[in-house]
Amino acid sequence: MARRTFFSFHYQEDVWRCWNVRNCLVVSKDQEAQGFFDGSVFEASKKEGDEALKTFLRNGLNNTSVTCVLAGHYTAGRRWVRYEIVRSVLKGNGLLTVDIHGVRNNDKQLGVKGTNPLDQVGLYLANGKILFAEVKGGKWVRYEDYTLAIPAADLWFDAPTSDTVVPLSKHCMRYDFAARQGQHRWLDRNGGRPGWPLEMHS
What residues form DSSP beta bridges with 121?
A: 134
- Please compute, for residue 183, the number of CA atoms within 13 A of its CA located in the half-sphere on the CB side: 5
What residues form DSSP beta bridges with 129?
A: 126
* DSSP SS3 for 151: coil
CB contact burial 60-89 (16+ within 10 A = b; e otherwise): bbeebbbbbbbbbbbbbbbebbbbbbbbbb
Q: Is the pLDDT of residue 38 over 50?
A: no
Share of the chain above pLDDT 70, in %: 76
Is 83 in contact with 104 (CB distance < 8 Å)? no
Which of 94, 119, 6, 9 minimizes the C-alpha distance to 58? 6
- The model's pLDDT over 121-161, given as tens digits with 9 standing for 90+, comes to 999 999 999 999 999 999 999 999 999 999 999 999 999 99
Q: Which of 41-45, 55-59, 69-73, 162-166 has the highest mean pLDDT?
A: 162-166
Angle at 101 between CA 54 and CA 6, to 5 degrees: 35
Domains of the chain, earliest start first: 3-116+169-176 (3.40.50)
User: What's the rounded mean pLDDT across residues 86-113?
Assistant: 90
Is 67 in contact with 93 (CB distance < 8 Å)? yes
Q: How far is CA 170 from the centre of its chain?
A: 14
Give the residue with greater pLDDT, 25 vs 155.
Answer: 155
Which of 103, 19, 33 minimizes the C-alpha distance to 66? 33
Tally DSSP H helices, then E strands, for the chain. 4, 9
Q: Residue 161 has what pLDDT?
A: 97
